[in-house]
A = this chain, B = another copy of it.
Amino acid sequence: MGSTSGAAEQAKHAAGDARPARRRLSVDRRREELMAAALELFSRRDAEDVSIDDVASAAGASRALVYHYFGGKQELYVAALKSAAAQLEALLRPQQDGRPLERLAGGLTRYFDFVEEHAAGFAALLKGGPANRSGEIGEIVDSVRQRLFRLVMKQMRVEEPGPVLRITLRSWIASVETAGLDWLEHRDVERPALEHLLIDHMVALLRAAARHDAQVADLLAGLEPDRSDLPG
Contacts and interface: CB of A to CB of B under 8 A. Distances in A.
A105 to B, nearest CB: 14
A141 interface: yes
Interface residue range, chain A = 35 or more
Nearest to A198: B171
A214 to B, nearest CB: 14
Interface of A: 48, 127-135, 137-139, 141-142, 163-164, 166-168, 170-179, 182-183, 186, 188-189, 193-194, 196-198, 200-201, 203-205, 207-209, 211-212, 230-232
Copies of this chain per assembly = 2
B170 A182 contact: yes
Contact of A174 (B133, B174, B193): B174
Contacts of A168: 197, 201
Task: Please provide the 7 A-B residue pairs with the shortest distance between their CB atoms, ordered closest to farther.
Answer: A128-B138, A171-B175, A204-B208, A174-B178, A204-B204, A200-B208, A131-B135
Contact of A193 (B173, B194, B212): B212
A182 B203 CA distance: 21
Nearest to A138: B128
A129 B132 contact: no
A110 B207 CA distance: 26
A142 B170 contact: no
A143 to B, nearest CB: 9
